[in-house]
Amino acid sequence: MSNYESPWMTDELRMFRKSVREFLQEEFLPLQVKWREQHRPDAEAWKKAGETGLLLPDVPEGYGGGGGTFAHQAVVTEELAQAGVNFASGVQSIVSHYILTYGSEAQKKKWLPAMGLGELVGAIAMTEPSAGSDLQSIKTTARRDGNDYIISGSKTFITNGWHAGLVCVAAKTDPKAAGFRGISMIVAEVKDLKGYRVGNSLEKIGMHEIDTCELFFDDVRVPAANLLGNAEGAGFTQMMEQLRYERLMIAVGAIATIERALAITIKYAKERKAFGQTLIEFQNARFKLAQAKTEAHIGRVFIDNCIARFIAGQFDPVTAAMAKYWTTECQCRIVDECVQLHGGYGYMSEYPIAQMWLDSRVQRIYAGTNEILEELIGWSL
Ligand SMILES: Cc1cc2nc3c(=O)[nH]c(=O)nc-3n(C[C@H](O)[C@H](O)[C@H](O)COP(=O)(O)OP(=O)(O)OC[C@H]3O[C@@H](n4cnc5c(N)ncnc54)[C@H](O)[C@@H]3O)c2cc1C
């Protein structure tokens, strides 16, 4: 595997990777403890990320993005995972792709350049206290009133919730319509918006560096022109389409995390001694690592194929579900094995593998739980 390189890699991407890596090491890695304690990154971090080209790498330059492809987003995602830096620039990309794909020219020009610079932080608000997997059952409503929508309801577990200036809200514009048909996506510019409130950052078991919040909408007025798409009722389809992007990004992060966990653990197993020999000299440790390395390689090749298909516009929702489901299951299992191979040190917060174990768990839960993804794959059989 040492001589394997992703087929989508180019000289330009190698240079981009180098600059992202240097930036993360110099600027964000030293701040992780501070962010962890305050449960969110510093506001300036977003602007610094924007200046460095970390934000919106796969959005056209004309809209303030980096002008790259999904390969550029994959590089950013991989480097964040490899550095052990938790920073939700991926969510910024997700929101930008909703705007890029469904937004009007005026919406794109208004929001995307500011998002690329990190002056405007994006969040996507689908989940509610009583509706996560079952998105069709959301209760937040957006009632039309003249040239505005009036949004009422609450959202929970929203990434970037504290810093967000732009929230893409899933709401029912037609509460009487059956199932998913009445849902629309509406963009709310939330700074100083009357009736909008952000709860405290939620206490999670991992990823403390990221602000995950409850959002409250109490008769919030948003211009009707902020609807995404030409007509009401397209929100559910838009979410299902865009979840392909989100799920692929999660899968890319999962494989990069597995690769990092293995590199750390192989090094540790070669150094740590027990019973007069290094851990890697025990057949059990060697076989566990051999199995994990094989799976990591299978995963890498699969994900590279997914990336190539995404770039070619041929990436279907079922393969996206397979990618997110399988890689994150592997991630949690392999990282857990790596903790085990570290013995007691694997349970100590100061050891990166312990942090990876805590941060990994949520990968099987968000962007569609793995059970929902198995359902999706199952329906296609
Ligand atoms: C750290 C974090 C960040 C997040 N960020 C965001 C965000 O930015 N924006 C956002 O909108 N949401 C976000 N979420 C929410 C996340 O997407 C939801 O938690 C997830 O979709 C699951 O919904 P739920 O928590 O309501 O669980 P539930 O839907 O209540 O599911 C509970 C359990 O039941 C299972 N289950 C449910 N339905 C079925 C079924 N039909 N068949 C089989 N099993 C089923 C699930 O798999 C799960 O195991 C985030 C969550 C976390 C933890």
Cα(281)–Cα(379) distance, integer angstroms: 46
Ligand 1 pocket test, candidate residues 243, 250, 366, most atoms within 8 A of CB: 366
Q: What number does the ligand 1 atom closest to the CA of 159 have?
A: 8
Ligand 1 proximal residues by C-beta, below 6 Å: 91, 124-127, 132-133, 157-159, 204, 207, 212, 362, 365-366, 369, 371-372, 375
Q: Mean pLDDT throughout 212-229?
A: 98
| pLDDT for the residue 262 | 98
Please pick, among 78, 79, 246, 337, the residue that the annotation labels catalytic.
246
Q: What number does the ligand 1 atom closest to the CA of 126 have?
A: 11
365 CA distance to ligand 1 middle (Å): 6
Cα(163)–Cα(23) distance, integer angstroms: 21
134 CA distance to ligand 1 middle (Å): 8
Scored b (16 or more CB within 10 A) or e, 345-369 reads ebeeeebebbbbbbbbbbbbebbbe
| Other beta carbons within 10 Å of 84 | 17
Cβ(168)–Cβ(123) under 8 Å? yes
Mean of all residue pLDDT scores within the chain: 97
Q: Mean pLDDT throughout 267-282?
A: 98
Is pLDDT at 1 greater than 90 in this prediction?
A: no
Percent of the chain scoring above 70 in pLDDT: 99
Question: Residue 195 is encoded by which pair of tokens?
Answer: 């009736």
The CA-atom distances, in angstroms, between 265 and each of 61, 233, 273, 289, 356 are 40, 49, 13, 8, 12
229 CA distance to ligand 1 middle (Å): 26
Is pLDDT at 165 greater than 90 in this prediction?
A: yes
Minimal-distance CA residue to ligand 1 atom 6 = 158
Q: Mean pLDDT throughout 340-352?
A: 97
Q: Mean pLDDT throughout 115-126?
A: 98
362 CA distance to ligand 1 middle (Å): 10
Beta bridge partners of 351: none
Cα(345)–Cα(114) distance, integer angstroms: 44
Cα(281)–Cα(294) distance, integer angstroms: 19
pLDDT band with cut points at 50, 70 and 90 for residue 352: very high
Is pLDDT at 168 greater than 80 in this prediction?
A: yes
Is pLDDT at 73 greater than 80 in this prediction?
A: yes
Cβ(338)–Cβ(264) under 8 Å? yes
| Residue 232 annotated as catalytic | no
* Residue of 326, 263, 271, 257 lying closest to 289 (CA atoms): 263
Worst-scoring range by mean pLDDT, 57-61, 180-184, 223-227, 285-289? 180-184
Q: Mean pLDDT throughout 241-261?
A: 98
Ligand 1 pocket test, candidate residues 92, 94, 157, most atoms within 8 A of CB: 157
Question: Residue 325 is encoded by which pair of tokens?
Answer: 């489901």
126 CA distance to ligand 1 middle (Å): 10
pLDDT band with cut points at 50, 70 and 90 for residue 273: very high
Question: Residue 83 is encoded by which pair of tokens?
Answer: 């550095």
371 CA distance to ligand 1 middle (Å): 10
Cα(260)–Cα(62) distance, integer angstroms: 35
pLDDT band with cut points at 50, 70 and 90 for residue 290: very high
> Pairing relation of β-strands 166-172 and 183-189?
antiparallel
Minimal-distance CA residue to ligand 1 atom 27 = 132
Is pLDDT at 2 greater than 80 in this prediction?
A: no
Cβ(196)–Cβ(186) under 8 Å? no
Q: What number does the ligand 1 atom closest to the CA of 375 have?
A: 42
Is pLDDT at 362 greater than 90 in this prediction?
A: yes
pLDDT band with cut points at 50, 70 and 90 for residue 200: confident
Residues 6+ away with beta carbon under 8 Å from 225: 104, 106, 107, 147
Percent of the chain scoring above 90 in pLDDT: 97
